Structure 1
Amino acid sequence: MEALARQSHKLCPYFKHSSAQAIRAIDGSSLSAQAVRCPVMGPALESKRSYVSSSKPAKAQVATAEVEETDFYPVEHASNEASFDYQGLFESEVVKKRDDNSYRFFNNINRLAKQFPMAHRAVEEDKVTVWCSNDYLAMSKNEQVIDVMAKALQKYGAGAGGTRNIAGHNKHAINLESELAALHKKEAALVFSSCYVANDAVLSLLGQKMKDLVIFSDEMNHASMIVGIQHSKAKKEIFKHNDLQDLEERLAKYPKSTPKVIAFESVYSMSGSVSDIPKICDLAEKYGCITFLDEVHAVGLYGPHGAGVAEHYDFEAHRASGIRSPDFKTTLDRVDIITGTLGKSFGTVGGYVAANRAIVDWLRSYSPGFIFTTSLPPAVMAGAAEAIRYQRSYLKDRQLQQIHTTYVKDQLEAIGVPVMPNPSHIVPIVVGDAAKAKAASDLLMNKHKIYVQAINFPTVPRGTERLRITPTPGHHQELSDILIEAVEDVYKTLDLPRISDLEARGGLCNVGVEGYVPETNLWTEQQLSYTQEDLNKNVFNPIIEQLEVSSGVKA
């Protein structure tokens, strides 16, 4: 019995979290009978017996014990009589997701181009209002974008024909990269198949090419950045979210000559928090770092021309200078590498990097994530370039989105629904329980015909599960009022925690935390009052200089 207890404690995903004393307290015969039927202990015990026939593979469907995310599937590997139970591994991993309520259900949502923000479900008559899309400005439905894409599709076909290395590239790639470089006021840009690929490609290559590199990463960074840092094999320092004191203390441990990268985001999409880019740039200059800024959830939405939060910090200067650079070094200039997406505010698909000419040419020449990936279709690149040009000279979409977001946040607060405080366009409703968040999402969909996806682990930490709402220019006050009434009904029906409940518990996700002072919105009243006439005339249909680096720099 003592040996069996030790073996159970070592191998079993359930018993390994129990004390040896607790295991010994279980009746020995009962434990043995149960262990033989266990998908984990069964094979282990079988391997200790004398037998002639081979043991049966484990039946993973009966496994319900919770296993930590980092645990390996514990199977006896020493036997020559049976192969590894691959199917058992896959099934047991899915069982774990179901048991902790983090299993993901995808809704059938077919967004309608001519009825935004409506979508239909499996059948066209079953329509819902979409409140959680990352198509923040509805540019995927923009008639100018669709028209440009349709013409390019008819003339140049559906695909790019391969990688640029094999198929060459085309005028659409050159135009798009020129537009992106101009948007961020950088010397060059490079388009990738997605920003996930771009982040992974850049960060991994930095580590592979810079000996002794140290990457300083915000603890809330996106998975694509985390994976890129892992692939880089560089030393990493994880600093507390938006905590510049913690960042500086970590930077100070290394000589200035040590190569260093500070990797962070402008808007963190699940909380809506915003980084202090100028102060991070100050630290980068002080300690000899380059800066890597992910503007995925900010491009199109901030700044007078939609270049993101880095542009927004010098809003007036950029508004006055238009497509030209101001006559001083701006926050946008101080950031070394900017990554962004074409798949959110610009309504298409793809990712990109904008930086100086040397960095972009280096990435183009060495990055496997660029070299070995099929190029975006010509129609997609043409549509993305049109979306950038459109938003450069059109303020109203960004302003309406901010106005609608503020209205929704204020109305939710008025009925006591906890929203994580932030200065951005994200509206994260705190639930704090995976099963309840899923139930709230289902009730909104099935009773109120409103689609808001539940967000759970690993996208957010356990215990901070939420509903994530993203108003757009099309979510006017009438639709917002319908949403508020539906959320109120859901909170009453499911008895979800209100602001007062979180206050009584000491707070959660900065809601109900005594003494917490929320940040003011990034968009000021003055900025929201501008019209198209207040923009520099040079942003309307500018002629953008083509980039040599897109095709390769001649020696």
Structure 2
Amino acid sequence: MDSIARQSAKLCPFVSRATSSLRNVQTLQQGNISAMAQRCPFMGQAMQKAHLTTSAAAGAAAAAPAAQEASRAAGKDQSSVMADRATQEAKFDYEGLFEQDLQKKRLDKSYRFFNNINRLAKEFPMAHRQQEEDKVTVWCSNDYLALSKNQQVVDVMKRTLDKYGAGAGGTRNIAGHNQHALRLEAEVAALHKKEGALVFSSCFVANDAVISLLGQKLKDLVIFSDELNHASMIVGIKHASTTKHIFKHNDLEHLEELLAMYPKSTPKLIAFESVYSMSGSVADINKICDLAEKYGALTFLDEVHAVGLYGPHGAGVAEHCDFESHRSSGIASPAHQTVMDRVDMITGTLGKSFGTVGGYVAGSLRLIDWLRSYAPGFIFTTSLPPSVMAGAAEAIRYQRSHLDLRQAQQRHTAYVKQGLADLDIPVIPNPSHIVPVLVGNPDLARQASEILMDKHRIYVQAINFPTVARGTERLRITPTPGHTDDLSDILLDAVDDVFNTLQLPRVKDWKRQGGLLGVGQSDYMAEPNLWTEDQLQLSNDDLHPNVREPIIDQLEVSSGIRY
């Protein structure tokens, strides 16, 4: 009370005036100060409340034991009251949000329905739907060389499964290493002629793990990414939490403009793909390496849709750039520096041309050891099953010495592209094995896919946003060595029927509209196919003898380097 009164003497105008005639407010008797403060219309009320509160506190202290006992007795009721109060407000409508977002996809025709497709190993490229007698021909698989049904690969996987069981037992960090991982990583490193390699559960995980770790560990790293890069690279760049620039697709002038913004001493990473899976376009790897050297950047090359298909031994487009040098040297490295040597890190998949599942990165010894030691996407992910790793290693070895698989795939692709061109059906031009049939409308692309399936027993998935930009929807066809000319003729007739049924625009129609993505554009300069006629005339016997059952040394880095 005394404290309140003294404050009132300092702050309250009423008390201040009442005491202004006194020489020192601190000399007043306590009762006089309190009496004057209580006469104040404001401080009087405050002092009255303070008095009641003090009295209540004193009473509560005296009755504490009884109150505590009562509180314990009523604890359950109090908890119930608190719970009731917490639920007065309605919870967030989670299901409503989910439905709202799904409805958006239905309205813009980007909602995806997955067909039940069960590929038959003994009848490739046939598959059955829900019922085994309901069979269709698959024309959109990424099993580019049909190695998923290769008998050598399957036999190795069966033997390994019987001997070592279904799973790896955990991460390498916990469950340990095994000979299947050692052999697979040695095969990958030898394929790309790098010092080391590291296998991940998928190439999505590999791309994310590598790029994000570079961003987190390299202070001030700047990442330069092609605008059509795969989602796995985009996610990795996001997780890198560093500065990024997106350059126009395959536009090296734009890339150089961006690189020139930074001193050479600033760490940089150029991330790009060799073959872009939805358009079939191909990067100029050699020129990108030129820019990387000029501006002090690392190069990150995704060869997911190129391994198995390009180069004399299936190492991808980087190998294909020095085709003859690699063919003549076989599994050994050529005497001169190659494009593949110039790329700092190469990622690839085991789940497409190599017919199994998983991903990898290949690079220098120090880089691979660093990734093995720091990348969470590797350290904390369960290892691939032994049978999968054994099958993948066998697939790499098998395709290395079978140039004819790559050539057959290229010939069948060329046959389909020419047949579609003869029908004036729009194919986005490219120099690779991808056959993107332009539709340009999400609903019509879906209908085209359904007619092919329901009427013609052909499975080709429609590709819509966000996989491709809106207005560029397409059907993506990918021939394999098993898609012979007779099957191709059936496909061509079916696609022609779909275009007639839906009245889809043909090349002449796109031309009248000014063209799109090279279709119907008069000024478009077509690129020559990556495979030359001379290369397509080679045989397996023209490969160096050392590619047949080569002895490949185990990689020291796979287990960790002892110092």
TM-score bracket, shorter-length normalisation:
0.7 to 0.9
User: 1:411 aligned to 411, 419, 429, which one?
Assistant: 419
For 1:81 and 1:438, locate their aligned partners in 2 and report how far apart those are by CA, in whole Å.
Answer: 43
User: 2:451 aligned to 437, 443, 450, which one?
Assistant: 443
- 2:341 matches 1:371: no
The answer for the alignment partner of 2:323 in structure 1 is: 315
1:260 Cα offset (Å): 0.1
For 2:149 and 2:526, locate their aligned partners in 1 and report how far apart those are by CA, in whole Å.
Answer: 34
Could you tell me which amino acid in structure 2 is paired with residue 532 of structure 1?
N
The answer for the alignment partner of 1:89 in structure 2 is: 97
Q: Deviations over 1:448-504 (max 9, x none)?
A: 000000000000000000000000000010000000000010000010000000000
The answer for the alignment partner of 2:522 in structure 1 is: 514
User: 1:260 aligned to 265, 268, 272, which one?
Assistant: 268
Could you tell me which amino acid in structure 1 is paired with residue 466 of structure 2?
P
Could you tell me which amino acid in structure 2 is paired with residue 247 of structure 1?
L
Could you tell me which amino acid in structure 2 is paired with residue 117 of structure 1?
P
Secondary structure at the residue paired with 2:421? helix
1:81 Cα offset (Å): 1.3
- 2:318 matches 1:329: no
Q: Deviations over 1:78-104 (max 9, x none)?
A: x97121111111110000000000000
The answer for the alignment partner of 1:106 in structure 2 is: 114
Q: Deviations over 1:275-318 (max 9, x none)?
A: 00000000000000000000000000000000000000000000
Q: Deviations over 1:100-124 (max 9, x none)?
A: 0000010000000000000000001
Secondary structure at the residue paired with 2:123? coil
Could you tell me which amino acid in structure 1 is paired with residue 259 of structure 2?
L
- 2:399 matches 1:391: yes
Secondary structure at the residue paired with 1:128? strand
For 1:138 and 1:449, locate their aligned partners in 2 and report how far apart those are by CA, in whole Å.
Answer: 20
User: 2:225 aligned to 200, 217, 230, which one?
Assistant: 217
- 2:408 matches 1:400: yes
For 1:528 and 1:235, locate their aligned partners in 2 and report how far apart those are by CA, in whole Å.
Answer: 43
The answer for the alignment partner of 2:499 in structure 1 is: 491
Q: Deviations over 1:6-28 (max 9, x none)?
A: xxxxxxxxxxxxxxxxxxxxxxx
User: 1:524 aligned to 519, 526, 532, which one?
Assistant: 532
Could you tell me which amino acid in structure 2 is paired with residue 360 of structure 1?
I
The answer for the alignment partner of 2:183 in structure 1 is: 175
Could you tell me which amino acid in structure 2 is paired with residue 525 of structure 1?
E
Could you tell me which amino acid in structure 2 is paired with residue 463 of structure 1?
G
The answer for the alignment partner of 2:172 in structure 1 is: 164
The answer for the alignment partner of 1:238 in structure 2 is: 246
For 2:257 and 2:136, locate their aligned partners in 1 and report how far apart those are by CA, in whole Å.
Answer: 49
1:532 Cα offset (Å): 1.1
Higher helix fraction: Structure 1 or Structure 2?
A: 2
The answer for the alignment partner of 2:160 in structure 1 is: 152
The answer for the alignment partner of 2:432 in structure 1 is: 424
User: 1:122 aligned to 106, 120, 130, which one?
Assistant: 130
For 2:316 and 2:486, locate their aligned partners in 1 and report how far apart those are by CA, in whole Å.
Answer: 29
Could you tell me which amino acid in structure 2 is paired with residue 100 of structure 1?
D
The answer for the alignment partner of 2:208 in structure 1 is: 200
Number of paired residues? 478
TM-score, normalising length from structure 1?
A: 0.86
The answer for the alignment partner of 1:455 in structure 2 is: 463
Could you tell me which amino acid in structure 2 is paired with residue 554 of structure 1?
R
The answer for the alignment partner of 2:475 in structure 1 is: 467
Q: Deviations over 1:242-266 (max 9, x none)?
A: 0000000000000000000000000
- 2:285 matches 1:277: yes
1:508 Cα offset (Å): 1.2
Structure 2 unmatched ranges of 5 or more: 1-86
Could you tell me which amino acid in structure 1 is paired with residue 482 of structure 2?
G
CA RMSD of aligned residues (A): 0.9
Secondary structure at the residue paired with 1:387? helix
- 2:307 matches 1:296: no
The answer for the alignment partner of 1:542 in structure 2 is: 550
Secondary structure at the residue paired with 2:121? coil
Secondary structure at the residue paired with 1:554? coil
Could you tell me which amino acid in structure 1 is paired with residue 445 of structure 2?
A
1:533 Cα offset (Å): 1.2
For 2:426 and 2:331, locate their aligned partners in 1 and report how far apart those are by CA, in whole Å.
Answer: 40
Secondary structure at the residue paired with 1:429? strand
For 2:250 and 2:525, locate their aligned partners in 1 and report how far apart those are by CA, in whole Å.
Answer: 15
For 2:233 and 2:209, locate their aligned partners in 1 and report how far apart those are by CA, in whole Å.
Answer: 9
Secondary structure at the residue paired with 2:160? helix
Could you tell me which amino acid in structure 2 is paired with residue 530 of structure 1?
L
Secondary structure at the residue paired with 1:114? helix
Structure 1 unmatched ranges of 5 or more: 1-78
Identity %: 73
For 1:169 and 1:121, locate their aligned partners in 2 and report how far apart those are by CA, in whole Å.
Answer: 39
The answer for the alignment partner of 1:503 in structure 2 is: 511
For 2:480 and 2:256, locate their aligned partners in 1 and report how far apart those are by CA, in whole Å.
Answer: 37
For 2:375 and 2:99, locate their aligned partners in 1 and report how far apart those are by CA, in whole Å.
Answer: 36
1:215 Cα offset (Å): 0.2
Could you tell me which amino acid in structure 2 is paired with residue 273 of structure 1?
S
Q: How does 1:130-145 map to 2 (within 5 A)?
A: 130-145=138-153
User: 1:552 aligned to 516, 541, 560, which one?
Assistant: 560
Could you tell me which amino acid in structure 2 is paired with residue 285 of structure 1?
E
For 1:491 and 1:325, locate their aligned partners in 2 and report how far apart those are by CA, in whole Å.
Answer: 49
1:169 Cα offset (Å): 1.4
TM-score, normalising length from structure 2?
A: 0.84
For 1:509 and 1:117, locate their aligned partners in 2 and report how far apart those are by CA, in whole Å.
Answer: 30
Q: How does 1:182-197 map to 2 (within 5 A)?
A: 182-197=190-205
For 2:125 and 2:304, locate their aligned partners in 1 and report how far apart those are by CA, in whole Å.
Answer: 22
Could you tell me which amino acid in structure 2 is paired with residue 454 of structure 1?
A
Q: Deviations over 1:406-450 (max 9, x none)?
A: 010000010010000000000000000000000000000000000
Question: Whose Rg is larger?
Answer: 2
